[in-house]
Amino acid sequence: MATRIWAQRAALVAAGLLAMMVSAFANPESWTRQGWTTDFSKHSIDYREILSGGPPKDGIPSIDDPVFIPVSQDEDLDDKEPVMGLEINGDARAYPLRILMWHEIVNDTVGGRPVTVTYCPLCNAALVFDRVIDGAPDTFGTTGKLRNSDLVMYDRRTESWWQQFTGEAIAGKLTGAKLTLVPSRLESWERFKARHPDGQVLVPNNSGMRNYGANPYRGYDTMNRPFLFSGELPKDIPAMARVVVVRDDDNPIVVSMLKVREDGPLKRGDVTITWEEGQTSALDSGSIAQGREVGNIIVQKAGQDVPYDVTFAFVAHAFMPDVAIEKAASQ
């Protein structure tokens, strides 16, 4: 399905139909007719910023009953493949991008804490949120919609729409509410195994459901500009350059991954950002394991992991236009 969606997206952009898509899909009345129970009278964004990503509601199916095996039993992952590494109360779990690429959301409970593990391929945004809302756990699914090329999720209790990059409800009853970020790492499988030899790794519920290990967005992160994005691009750094975003208190940090690689470790206040080699890009080659080297990022304060994201410059600029992106001297 994702391969077909990718082809649809490419054709739409090539045909110059982006503006038509805005008028065709940014329509709360049509969304209601499609079966949404969202209270669209409440919203914090301009609905014209919402685009259809191709699939319908839950067309990219979240994983709600995740299956894990011990790290020692995995025989599929290449050592340098990217995984989202999460550890809570001694419970360590790896979520391979080869699976998240096709599902984008995993609703899980780790170390007794209900969490939603999310990945948006068009933004390379890998974020974990606490999924307790108003005192009770909820689960999330995919709307099939995008804003600034970023995944728009929905909660299943109120069907409010949530921006994945910000963790904020942008439409519906819960508009303005924010999810709590949970520290995680986007790291190589080899590094996760070394840190957590007794940990677990997510495996497909049905290995034949998707072409796990393949990248349906081949060549995406070396393009000049992103698909399905009509906003302003950053002027002094390539749109698809990887940047590290740290939302530390009220002082967000955005620094290019290349700068961390060339000049790091970087100290920004109490935060230390480090680059280390050994991770492939999930959005380069047709095979994730064969992607080019991009490296690993570690972000810590006082020796403890803090939430961060490795995304693209255009995403950081779209959602955080007032935060300057620190770039490498060579960029």
Confidence band for 228, pLDDT divided at 50, 70 and 90: confident
Tell me the per-residue pLDDT of 172-224, one tens digit each, with 9 for 90 and over: 999 999 999 999 999 999 999 999 999 999 999 999 999 999 999 999 999 99
In a domain, 184, yes or no: no
The domain tally of the chain equals 1
Strand residue runs (E) in 76-211: 82-88, 91-96, 105-110, 113-120, 125-130, 132-133, 136-137, 140-147, 150-155, 161-163, 168-171, 181-182, 185-188, 200-203
Confidence band for 15, pLDDT divided at 50, 70 and 90: very low
Q: How many beta carbons lie within 10 A of that of residue 215, not counting itself?
A: 28
Tell me the per-residue pLDDT of 66-77, one tens digit each, with 9 for 90 and over: 999 999 999 999
Q: How far, in Å, CA of 279 to CA of 204, rounded?
A: 22
> What is the pLDDT of the chain when averaged over all its residues?
93
Q: How far, in Å, CA of 103 to CA of 146, rounded?
A: 15
In a domain, 248, yes or no: yes
pTM: 0.93
Range of the structural domain that residue 242 is part of: 220-319
- Is the predicted pLDDT of residue 248 greater than 80, yes or no? no
In a domain, 283, yes or no: yes
With 0-12 / 13-18 / 19 or more C-beta atoms within 10 angstroms meaning exposed / middle / buried, residue 89 is exposed
pLDDT of residue 11: 45
pLDDT of residue 4: 54
In a domain, 287, yes or no: yes
In a domain, 327, yes or no: no
In a domain, 161, yes or no: no
**Residues 224/207, Cβ–Cβ less than 8 Å:** no
- Is the predicted pLDDT of residue 240 greater than 80, yes or no? yes
With 0-12 / 13-18 / 19 or more C-beta atoms within 10 angstroms meaning exposed / middle / buried, residue 192 is buried
